[in-house]
Structure formats: structure tokens, C-alpha cells
Structure 1
Amino acid sequence: MASFDDPGQLPDTPAEAKDDDLSTLAISLLKGVLYREGDERLWNALLRLQGRVRDYLSVLGLELMLDEAEGYAFLKSRPDDEAGEKRPRLVARRPLSFPVSLLLALLRKKLVEFDAAGADTRLVLTRDDIAELMRVFLRDSSNEARLMDQIETHINKVVDLGFLRRLKPASGAAASPPSYEVRRILKAYVDAQWLTELDAQLEAYRRHCGADTSDG
């Protein structure tokens, strides 16, 4: 995301700055998730103008979901009215495959464990770490290379969805497996209520995948 800091230009008047920021915020949010770490200036403008942003986007049938503590904001479609009238959607719903849904659940659980440990603010996992999370729930395969290819495909889909961010390899570590940051916006999509039933959900996943060997 482009930076808006430009010390070589004269500042706008307050009214002009607010109008410009409102347009920029609306466009940025319609394009995807806005992160505090990605653009501090735009994030601060969102905090300052969030009331106007909410009013503006509500006309389009959208709600602003803002988490100041975690530092992200995104849009979701407002629910249909009580009469059941369906509104056109600007934010499309994407159906997820079973393995991708499984991976999101496992990453969310890992994020809870990570936060409970309180060691850091960024959860970073390697491809091999993620593969180990998924392996127990996937059907046994004698072809390890094929299994890893499948897992990488699921990882790439989660990257495309914005819940993982691929990190650049460290200098001199080109041969190491790729690393990914788990984006905290995942917490907004896999909520706490669902997490209370997570163990049962994962057991159902295990049975679905045929990884439960207790049946012989």
C-alpha cells in the first residue's frame, strides 16, 4: 500500500484533508483489509473519521468491522432485513473447500495457544509447521511429495484469502522452507463462540478425513 507521507508538499486545509481521507479510506476498504502496520497515517485517519466512514458505507449495505487493539479493519455485508429481502452484495462470499476450512480452524487454535503464552505479537509458522498441523487430519499418503504439494496448495489459498502473509526469506536462508505470519484478522472470522466447540469440530474433521485409526 502506498505511503501518504510527503513532507515536500504543503498540507491541505482541514476540510480538504478530511474529504480526501474519507474517499481514500472508502476505496482502500473496498479493496480489502486495512492494517495499521501497513499505513499508519491512513489508520489514524480511519480512527478519526470512522463515524463518517460507517455512515458512508452503510448506504452501500456494508458494515465497518474495526479492531483497534489488533490493528485491522474490513467490510462485511449487512444482514438482510427482517422481511427477508436480499440485498445485492459488494463483498462476495467465497465458498471454502474442506481442507482450507480445516487449515483456518487449526491456525485459529494455534493463535489462541500463542496468545496464551504471551511470548510475542506475531505468530510465524514455517510451511513444515503448518504441514504438521494438518497431517494428522489428512488421509495417509505413501507419496510424501504429493501430500506436501496438496498442503502447499491449501496454504496458498489461505494466503490469497489474507489470513496468512508470506514472509521474505532471511538472507542466506534460501534453502529453508517458506515462513508465514498468521494474520490476526483470522480472529474476526473464526470467533470465540465457535472456538468453544473447536475440539468437537476437529474430531469431526478427523473422522471425515478417515484419519482416525481406531476403527482398524
Structure 2
Amino acid sequence: MTAQPSPTPAITDDALSLSRIVIPLLRGVIYQADNPNGWTLLRRHQSRVRDHMAVMGLELVIDEAEGYAHLRQLDLDDVDIPRLVPRHRLSFRVSLLLALLRKRLAEFDASSSDPRLVLTREQIAELLRVHLPQGTNEVRLTAEVDSLIGKVEALGFLRRIIGQEHTYEVRRILKAYVDAQWLAELDERLREYLATLEPDDAAAGATTSPGAPDREDRTDG
């Protein structure tokens, strides 16, 4: 006899509603402005979502003021649970750009009621330029800025504006990953970074080579 295929299990409307929240969360950040229907569902079912995520060792974080929600890996020292949220190792230069963007976002919020901070590549380059030795080669700076922007965009902290060349929105989830302490330590970290430059490079304003001893930070994202 030929084995009969197992019947497809029916999914209830209630389970479907939960799936419409859980799946986007597992993929990344839910923004109220980008996904208003998902945001409404999340707020309605947040208790169930928290319980569901806790089974997988994840914590649901909702920032009502900033309008985003994301998952954070629970730190359970006494329990061995495989990680679902990847941990990224970041070079110091990527961390520096994240901190500069976070600082710029704080300044923007203090002076504007607009919820979206939009920066051009030139503006991002200027943020970095003032923190590099004088005389940094412009061609090398532009190439490095493009590389750093690509990495930060891949991490989900920048979003390219469609129809506007080299223009990016700073995503507010950045506030959850670069805290006040990191910003307070920025100047000291920058001095440590500049100290890794060879004297000739510092005088010429060259950036470190890929093999230079960059600081490394970690972030869940």
C-alpha cells in the first residue's frame, strides 16, 4: 500500500495573528512607522509574544517612545541555550561610526521634532573627518566611508533612501545598542585608536591598515 501523505495541520486565526508578529521579529526590527498593522498586533498580543519568545531564550523589547520593537538574547549564565540572535564582532572604526551617528541622533532629537534623521554620504564623511588626523587623504577617506556605510547598513542601523543617491536614514534602533556609557567613553576610545597609528601615518593622516590592531566591540542585531 502507498503511504498516504499526512494532512496539513489547520492553523487558527489566532495562531496566524501570532505568526504575523513572531516571524517579522525573528527577521529583525519592527518599526511602527514602517509596519503599522504589525505594530498594532504586537501591542495587542505582546504578553503572548513575550511568553513565546522566552521559550527560545529571547526577550521582547518594545520602545513605545521611539516606535520600534526588537528581540534581545537573554543572558542566562546557568542555562545552556543556543543563540538565535547573532553576535557581531565589530572593528573599532565601525564602532566609532556607530557612536558618532548615535551622538548626531541625540543632537538632532534635541533640536528638531522631525522623527527621521537623514544624512548624506558627505555628511557622514564629515562626522568621521573631524575625528581623524589632519591631512587624511580624501580618496582613501571616501573609500573607507563607503565601506563603513555598507557595514553599518548591513547591521540595520542605516537605511538607504530610495531615489536619493548616497542618502541614508539613521535608524532609531541604534539607541538601543549604543548607550550613554559608550558615548561618554568615546573620546578615550578615540585616543586609544589614534595611538595605534604609526607615527608616519599619523603625520600623514593615513588610516590604519586592515591588519592594524583595531578595538573590537560586540552587538546583538
Place the TM-score, normalised by the shorter chain, in its bin: 0.7 to 0.9
In the alignment, which of 155, 159, 163 is matched to residue 161 of structure 1? 155
In structure 1, stretches of 5+ residues that fail to align are: 1-14, 171-176
Which residue does the alignment assign to 1:190? 178
Q: Percent identity?
A: 53
* 2:63–2:69 CA contact under 8 A, matched in 1: yes
Question: 1:207 and 1:169 mapped to 2: Cα distance?
Answer: 40
Question: 2:117 and 2:28 mapped to 1: Cα distance?
Answer: 21
In the alignment, which of 108, 116, 123 is matched to residue 122 of structure 1? 116
* Higher RCO (C-alpha under 8 Å, 6+ residues apart): 2
CA-atom RMSD, angstroms? Answer: 2.4
Over 3 Å counting, the alpha-carbon distance change for 1:144 and 1:199 in structure 2 is closer
How far is 1:200 from its partner?
Answer: 3.4
Question: 2:84 and 2:73 mapped to 1: Cα distance?
Answer: 7
Q: When the two structures are aligned, how many residues end up with a matched partner?
A: 191
In the alignment, which of 69, 75, 84 is matched to residue 79 of structure 1? 75
Q: Deviations over 1:8-58 (max 9, x none)?
A: xxxxxxx94432111121111111111111111110000010000000010
What TM-score comes out, normalization by structure 2 length? Answer: 0.78
What TM-score comes out, normalization by structure 1 length? Answer: 0.79
SS at match of 2:175: helix
In structure 2, stretches of 5+ residues that fail to align are: 1-10, 204-221
Which residue does the alignment assign to 2:211? none
* 1:21–1:42 CA contact under 8 A, matched in 2: no
Q: What amino acid is aligned across from residue 169 of structure 2 in structure 1?
A: E
* 1:137–1:209 CA contact under 8 A, matched in 2: no
Over 3 Å counting, the alpha-carbon distance change for 1:142 and 1:104 in structure 2 is closer
How far is 1:87 from its partner?
Answer: 2.2
In the alignment, which of 60, 63, 69 is matched to residue 65 of structure 2? 69
Q: What amino acid is aligned across from residue 72 of structure 2 in structure 1?
A: K
Q: Deviations over 1:176-215 (max 9, x none)?
A: x5111111110000123333334433444444457977xx
In the alignment, which of 159, 168, 183 is matched to residue 180 of structure 1? 168
| Greater fraction strand | 2
